[in-house]
Amino acid sequence: MNDQAQKLRKMIQTSKETQAKTLAVVSGKGGVGKSNISINMAVQFNNRRLRVLLFDLDVGMGNVNIILGSTSTYTLSDFLYQDFPLERIVYQTDEGISYISAGNGLNEAIEWNAAMVSKLLEGLREIQLQYDYIIFDMAAGATSATLKILLAADDIFVISTPEPTAMTDAYSMMKFMCAEGTDSDFFLICNRADNEKQGKETLERLQKTALKFLQKEVVLLGVLPEDAHVRKAVISQTAFSIKFPRSSVSTKLENLVDQYLNQDRFLKKSHEPGSFINKLRQLFFKEE
Ligand SMILES: Nc1ncnc2c1ncn2[C@@H]1O[C@H](COP(=O)(O)OP(=O)(O)OP(=O)(O)O)[C@@H](O)[C@H]1O
Ligand SMILES: [Mg+2]
């Protein structure tokens, strides 16, 4: 395994090519809108002609392919258990959104071993060369090995709703990530707000709490409204930005992505070439 790790390190050091920036979309509480936000952010990136890969990491409960109304024969577990390159499990929707499915069956549960970790690292290293951004749609909470991917991501989008339960859990998630020593930038999004004021208050409260108790500065990215178009789009299995591009939630998300991309140009510090894979390797193999 050390050999594998060394081989990887060498490959990273010699690679001068551009590597995708890695973004993870997380929450504490489930059902706050991570998957819809990940998917529609990917649509927005794609509309801006950025090469984006949407990577579903909600293993066994994945729903990216369902919300996109797309069929994927192979999933992440096929890649890990069989001899496939990662590229083989990348699918494209009719609209040109590239994604990897996490699978949605109990048989998808992954029992991680060192060989699988190495395979994943190698797959990610290769795929990072082909995209500008990789968006990881995470499972709710903090439990599985996929969490290491979250901790290694360049930028972390923390999603909350105005509900106190969602806010408390979002804070717990940030606390966990800080305790694990992440140096990623945190971007806060409030979803399902009744109005802009309520959303802003939610974000500001979370920002203040993070600063006071975690000494972590977080970026307030934006507020997305409660909008019936989200549910309608999910039912019709199309991303809301595609189905209802002029809806309130779509235009707000569009602005939010613009704001992120404007900031992104100035926040390159965490995007050293190879930093994502290096961090991941350390997290998995606990090396120096
Ligand atoms: N802005 C919104 N307005 C109205 N309904 C919304 C909004 N965002 C999400 N929803 C509703 O919440 C449901 C759950 O959203 P989603 O699946 O994106 O959450 P999630 O955080 O990924 O959930 P999980 O933790 O289970 O992965 C959607 O199917 C939709 O019905
Ligand atoms: Mg989800």
pLDDT in tens, 215-244: 999 999 999 999 999 999 999 999 999 999
Alpha carbon distance 27, 172 (integer Å)? 9
Q: Is the pLDDT of residue 106 over 90?
A: no
Range from 74-78, 139-143, 183-187, 191-195 that averages highest in pLDDT: 191-195
Q: Is the pLDDT of residue 8 over 80?
A: no
pLDDT value at 156 more than 90: yes
Residue with tokens 């369902």: 66
Q: Mutate which of 39, 230, 238 to test ligand 1's pocket (most atoms within 8 Å of Cβ)? A: 230
Measure 36 CA to ligand 2 centroid, in angstroms.
7
Q: CB burial class (10 A; 0-12, 13-18, 19+) of residue 104?
A: middle
What was the pLDDT predicted at 61? 87
Task: Extract the tokens encoding 287.
Answer: 């090396």
What is residue 160's three-state secondary structure?
strand
**Which residues does ligand 1 sit against, CB inside 6 Å?**
27, 30-36, 58, 140, 191-192, 224, 226-227, 230-231, 234, 249
Q: What is the mean pLDDT of residues 125-144?
A: 89
How does residue 143 score in pLDDT terms, banded at 50, 70 and 90?
Answer: low
Which of 228 and 62 is assigned the larger pLDDT? 228
Confidence class of residue 285 from pLDDT cuts 50, 70 and 90?
A: confident
Q: What distance in angstroms lies between residue 1's CA and the mean position of ligand 2's atoms?
A: 33
Q: Is the pTM of this model over 0.85?
A: yes
Q: How many CA atoms lie within 13 A of 235 on its CB side?
A: 5
What pLDDT shows up at residue 17?
59
**pLDDT tens-digit map of 88-105:** 999 999 999 999 999 877
Higher-confidence residue: 58 or 274? 58
Cα of 31 from ligand 2 centre, angstroms: 7
